[in-house]
Amino acid sequence: MNAIKKGKLICVGTGMRMAGQVTPLALSYIETADVVVSAVPNIFTRDWIKGIAKDFICVLDHYDDCNMDGKNRGDTYRRMADTILEQVRAGKTVCAAFYGHPGIFACIAHIAIKDARSEGYGAEMLPGISAEDCLVADLGIDPGRTGMQSMEATQFMIYERRIDPSALLILWQPFLAGELSLKRFETTQARVQVLVDKLARDYPLDHEVILYEAATHPLERTRIDRLPLRELPTATMVGATTLVIPAAQALKRDQAIVDLLNALPEAPLMPLAQAA
């Protein structure tokens, strides 16, 4: 049996709100790891982590690679994972800290964990509070009421997706909608218009959508802007904006399935005595 090598990786999430949404377990890894490698863009959260970590490496400068010819965000994410792995290979206990949940719409932690495990190092991910968790709380939406679809805005645009307008739809990274070069960090009105036109296949143009930005510290205001779908191309969208599209249709009952279920015998799957 292969022995686990000395270095170790724990990927944690800091939540969305500085210091207030980190789990006790994630906090203890941030405080006790030999080094914290972080890609947290919020300066307050970054300074807070820096202040409590034994050693701190910020990998945000790797985004500058996108300015080089032939390089894009994919290369940046690869290099961030490589920087994390260098520390693991040096035999350290490495805590990689990401905002929100480290594994939700965030590929770096997934890449680093896969690489670390394939090289024989222990690696795990701890869950964190994501933007989606915050929007459920701030908007008072229970995803269980209609069901929920959640995907990246550009992925929705460039692939054939079957959207169910009777369920909630969450589109991530609308500020990059249709940005295919993977080099720039903004979109254009024309691209957002393409997004609106595609959404209009399933939603009326006057359907109310929500631009949501969770507050990241106590003095910041949570953004909850409601607007008709048609006005999206002229709306302000930044890196922290998530587009929330409530259901536009009532749930339609599938009567054939209901009838089938009602016709089934009442007998349980197995006798209760055996199930216990």
Active-site residue list: 73, 77, 99
Q: Find the part of the chain contacting ligand SAM (CB under 6 A) among 2-10, 49-57, 102-110, 118-126.
A: 102-110
Residue 192 to residue 157: CA distance in whole angstroms? 10
Told to check if 172 binds ligand SAM by CB under 6 A, we report yes
Least gap, CB of 238 to ligand SAM (angstroms): 8
Between 173 and 187, name the residue whose CB sits nearer to ligand SAM. 173
Least gap, CB of 163 to ligand SAM (angstroms): 18
Q: Find the part of the chain contacting ligand SAM (CB under 6 A) among 49-57, 62-70, 95-103, 244-252.
A: 95-103
- Structure-token match 């409590």, residue found: 52
Q: Report the residue closest to ligand SAM, judged by CB.
A: 100
- Map 60-74 to HEC letters: HHHHHHHHCCCCCHH
Beta bridge partners of 191: none
Per-residue binder mask for ligand SAM (CB under 6 A), 129-148, x = binder: -xx-----------------
Told to check if 11 binds ligand SAM by CB under 6 A, we report no
Residue 58 to residue 61: CA distance in whole angstroms? 7
Between 9 and 106, name the residue whose CB sits nearer to ligand SAM. 106
Q: In what order do the strands lie in the sheet with 148-152?
A: 148-152, 168-172, 242-245, 208-213, 223-228
On the 0-12 / 13-18 / 19+ scale of CB atoms within 10 A, 58 is middle
Told to check if 239 binds ligand SAM by CB under 6 A, we report yes
Between 102 and 233, name the residue whose CB sits nearer to ligand SAM. 102
Q: How far from each other are the two terminal CA atoms of the chain, in whole angstroms? A: 37
